Structure 1
Amino acid sequence: MTVIAFLVGVVVLVVGLAVSIALHELGHLLPAKKFGVHVGQYMIGFGPTLFSRRRGETEYGIKAIPLGGYISMSGMYPPSPSRAGRAGRAGGGFFATMVQDARAANAETMTDVDEGRLFYRLPVYKRIIIMLGGPVMNLLLAVVLFTIMLSGIGVQTATTTIAGVSECLVSSASAESGCTASDPPSPAAAAGILPGDVIVSVDGTEVADFAEASQIIQDSPGEQLAIVVERDGVPRTLQVTPALTEREIVTADGDVVTAEVGMVGMTAQSEYVPQPVWAGAEMTVDSVQRVAGVVVQLPVRVYDTAVALFTGGERDPDGPLSVVGAGRIAGEVASVDAPVLNRVAGLLGLLASLNLALFVFNLIPLLPLDGGHVAVALWDGLKRLWARVFRRPPPRPVDTARLVPATFVVVVLLIGMGAILILADLFNPISVFG
C-alpha cells in the first residue's frame, strides 16, 4: 500500500508539473494571439513529438521529454542587419555559425507572414506582456493552489475542545510511560477537567484556540487560574494550578529549546480550520521572497550541493531540487502515515512551491528565459526613447540573434546545474521526514 501511495504521489507531481508547464505556455500564447502574432507551434516538452494536431495556423502537441515547453512565434529575431549588401556576422568560428543558423531558422518562421504579425514589430509593452504571461500564469496557479490548501482544506489546528486528560503529571524528561502510585494527579485531573469540555477562557482571558490557552498556562506555573469550560452546554468555572515542569518549546525564531513552563496535563482535539480567502495570496507573497532568495544564490547553493554529493555531507533541506528530488518528496508526502487531507494539503503545497520556482526562475534577465526577452524589449524601448528625446532617426530593433552565443552558454550552465541536482537527488537525497 505504501509503495502504491508513493507512486501515486510521483504521478501527481508529474501530472501537476505538466499542467503547470502547459499553463505557463498558455500564458504566452493567449496574449500573443490577442496581439495578432503568428504562432506556429505550442508544444509541451522537448525532443521527439509524441502527438500533435494543427488548428488553424498553430500546431499543438506533446513531446517526449516533459521538462519544459515553448511556443514558436514568428519574428522572435529581427532580420539581420546588412552592411554593404552583406549579412552581418557575429564573428568567426563556432559562435558565428550559431548566429547564422539562428537567423536562418528565424527567417523560416517569417515566410509568408504579414510583417505586422511579427513579434519584433510589436510595441515594447506588448512584447513584455507576452513574455511575462507565462511566469504570471505560474504565479496565479500558485495562489490558487495555496488558497485551496488553506481556505478549502484549512490548517490543522488544536481547538478548545479537550481530547484527553492525564491521570498524573509525568515530566517529559521522565522515562516512565505510565502513572505510578507515587505520582501526583495532574492539575487538570485534580481540577475536574474532562474530555469533551470546551475551554471558554483562562484567567479571565477568552481564548479562540488551544494555543492561546496553552500560552497562558505555560506562563503561569504555580499560580491558581480560573478556567471556564462549557460542559453539556453549561459553563463551569474550575480552579487549576499549573505545575512547573521542563518541556521543549519552539521559540519565535523557530528554535527548539528546553524551558521550565507551567503544565496541567491535557490535550486538545484537532480539526481543519479554513483560513480567510486571502490567506493563499499572503502565503504566495511570503513564499516568493523565500524562493527568490534561493534563486539569487542558485550557483552557490548548487556548488554546496555538489560538495555534499561528493563528500557525503548533509544537504541543506531548503536548498534547490531537481524534478527527481521533487518527485521523491511527493512520493514521501503521499505515503506518510497521516490523514488523507494532510497528504493532499502537502502535495498542493509542493505543487504551489514548484510554480513559484518557475515564476521566479523565469524572471532571471538572461536568454533564453522569459526575463531575458523582457530585458531585450526594455533595452529596445530605451533606445527608441533616447532617439525621440534627442530627435534622432528611429534605431534598428535590438539584434537578438547576436545574443545566441551568450544564450548557448547559459543553456550549458543550466544543464550542468540540473545534472548536479539530479545526481544529488538520486544519491544524496533530501527527505522531508528525516
Structure 2
Amino acid sequence: MTTLMTVLGIAVFAVGLLISIAWHELGHLSTAKLFGIRVPQYMVGFGPTVFSRKKGDTEYGVKAIPMGGYIRMIGMFPPGDDGRITARASSPFRSMIEDARSAAFEELQPGDEERLFYTRKPWKRVIVMFAGPFMNLVLAVLLFLGVLMGFGIRAQTTTVGSVSDCVISQSAASAGKTACGKGDPASPAKKAGLRAGDRITGFDGRPVTDWDTLQNDIRRTTGPATITVDRRGGDVTLNADLIRNQVAKSDGHGGYVDGQYVSAGFLGFTPAAGIVKQGFGDSVGQMGSMVHATVGSLVNLPERIPALWRSAFDGAPRQPDSPMGVVGAARVGGEVFSLDIPPEQRIATMLMLVAGFNLSLFLFNMLPLLPLDGGHIAGALWEAVKRNLARVFRRPDPGPFDVAKMMPVAYVVAGIFLSFTVLVLIADVVNPVKIT
C-alpha cells in the first residue's frame, strides 16, 4: 500500500508540474496573441511530441519529457545591422548570434512582417515576457491562500501541551537541564493549577484566540494575572503570579531565534501543536516569509554547491534546505502521500509543494539573464530607456535593442544552469532530501 501511495504522490506532483508549466506558457501565449504576434507553437515539455493539434496558426502539443515548456514567437530578434537574417559569419560567437537570429524567423510567412515580436513596443514585449512568470506567481498565491485559509497549517495553539514543574531558564534548558533541582521554585503555571489539555480562552480579562497573541500577553506581564481556560467543556478561572525569566527570542512568525534569549514574563507551560486555519492577514504574512526565504535561497545558491557536490559524490548528509530539482520534488511528493496523516493534510502538503515550485519558478525566471524571461524583459527596458533618451536629446531613434548579440552570454548561462541541474539530479537520485 505504501508503494502504491508513493507512486500516486509522484503522479500527482507530475500532473501539478505539467499544469504549472502549461499555465506559465499560457501567459506568454495569450499576451502574444493579444498584441498580434504570431505564435507557431505552444508546447508543454521537451523531446519527442506525444500529442499535438493545430488550431488557427498555432500548433498545441505535449512532449515526452515534462521538464519545461515553450512557445515559439516569430521575430524574437531583429535582423542584423545589414538587414539580413541568415548566418554568414565564420566567428563562432557571430555564428551563435546569427543562428539565433535565423531561428527567430523560421516559418516566416507573407504578412508576418507586421506580426514580429521585436516590432512591438518595449512595454508590450515586457508584458509578453512577464506574463509567464506572473501566471506562476498567481497560481502560487492562490494555492498558498487556499491551503493556509482552507486547510490550515501545523502551528502552536492555545491548548496546554504540558506544564513545567519548576522555573528553568531557556539557556539552561538548551544546555541540557531538564530536571528540577532542590532550589528551583515551582512554575507559576503549576502553582495556578494549569493542566495539560486546558484550552486558554482569556488572559487577564482579554479574549485569546491564537498562540501569538497569548505569547505576547504572557511576555509583557509580570505579577498577578487571571487565566480563563476551557476545561472539559466548562470555563475555569485561574489566578497566576507571573515572574521574569530568560526565554527564547521570538522571530515574530511563531518560531524562535536559535541561541538568542530575552528577559520576559514567564508562566511555564508548553503549547500543544495542531492544524490551525490562518486568517487572510496571517496568510499574507506567511507568504511574505516564504518569499523572503525563497529569495534568500536563490541568493545563497552558489555557496550551497560545495555541500551539494559532497552529498552527490562523497556521501555527505543531504541538508533539509539543500537545492532540490524536479526529481527530488517528485520523490518528496511520493513520500507525502505515503505519510500516516489525514488525507486532507496529504493534499494540503502536496498543494504547498506545488505552490512552492511555482513561487521558485517566478523568482528564478525574473533573473535578468538570457535565456530567462527576465533577460528579455531587461533588453526591452534598456531599449525603452535608449529611445526615450534619444527623444529627449533629439537624436536619431537607435532602433530595437539587439538581444541576439547577447546569445554568447546566454549560452554560457544556459551551460551553467544545465550543469547545476545535472548535479542536483544526481544528488536527488543518490542522496535525496527526506521528509523530517
Q: More displaced, 321-330 or 95-104?
A: 95-104
Q: Does the 8 Å contact 2:86/2:101 carry over to 1?
A: no
Gaps of 5+ in 1: 177-184
Map 1:22-421; keep pairs closer than 5 Å.
22-82=22-82, 92-157=90-155, 159-160=157-158, 198-209=199-210, 226-230=226-230, 235-239=235-239, 252=251, 253-255=256-258, 270-276=274-280, 278-421=281-424
Q: Does the 8 Å contact 2:77/2:118 carry over to 1?
A: yes
Q: Does the 8 Å contact 2:86/2:99 carry over to 1?
A: no
- What is the distance in 2 between the residues matched to 1:228 and 1:272? 21
- What is the distance in 2 between the residues matched to 1:220 and 1:390? 65
Q: More displaced, 397-406 or 146-155?
A: 397-406
Q: More displaced, 287-296 or 408-417?
A: 287-296
Q: Does the 8 Å contact 1:32/1:130 carry over to 2?
A: yes
Q: SS in structure 2 opposite 1:6?
A: helix
How far residue 416 of structure 1 moved from its aligned partner, in angstroms, is 0.7
Q: More displaced, 15-24 or 294-303?
A: 294-303
Gaps of 5+ in 2: 180-185
Q: Does the 8 Å contact 2:294/2:360 carry over to 1?
A: yes
How far residue 202 of structure 1 moved from its aligned partner, in angstroms, is 4.1
How far residue 341 of structure 1 moved from its aligned partner, in angstroms, is 3.0
Q: Does the 8 Å contact 2:85/2:102 carry over to 1?
A: no
Q: Which amino acid aligns with 2:429?
A: L
How far residue 64 of structure 1 moved from its aligned partner, in angstroms, is 1.0
Q: Which amino acid aligns with 1:321?
A: M
- What is the distance in 1 between the residues matched to 2:127 and 2:377? 9
Residue of structure 1 equivalent to 2:430? 427
How far residue 39 of structure 1 moved from its aligned partner, in angstroms, is 0.9
Q: Does the 8 Å contact 2:79/2:85 carry over to 1?
A: no
Q: More displaced, 317-326 or 386-395?
A: 386-395
- What is the distance in 1 between the residues matched to 2:324 and 2:273? 36
Q: Does the 8 Å contact 1:226/1:238 carry over to 2?
A: yes
Q: Which amino acid aligns with 2:80?
A: S
How far residue 117 of structure 1 moved from its aligned partner, in angstroms, is 1.3
Superimposed CA distance per residue, residues 205-225 of structure 1 (whole angstroms, 9 cap, x where no aligned partner): 54324666577779999x876
The alignment's C-alpha RMSD in Å is 3.9
Superimposed CA distance per residue, residues 116-139 of structure 1 (whole angstroms, 9 cap, x where no aligned partner): 211111011000000000011111
- What is the distance in 2 between the residues matched to 1:73 and 1:12? 31
Q: SS in structure 1 opposite 2:257?
A: coil
How far residue 150 of structure 1 moved from its aligned partner, in angstroms, is 0.7
TM-score computed with the length of structure 1 as normaliser: 0.81
- What is the distance in 2 between the residues matched to 1:214 and 1:388? 60
Q: Does the 8 Å contact 1:199/1:207 carry over to 2?
A: yes
Equivalenced residue count is 420
Identity over aligned residues, as a percent? 41
Q: Which amino acid aligns with 1:148?
A: G
Q: Does the 8 Å contact 1:294/1:319 carry over to 2?
A: no
How far residue 199 of structure 1 moved from its aligned partner, in angstroms, is 3.1
Q: Does the 8 Å contact 2:85/2:98 carry over to 1?
A: no
- What is the distance in 2 between the residues matched to 1:401 and 1:297? 30
TM-score computed with the length of structure 2 as normaliser: 0.81
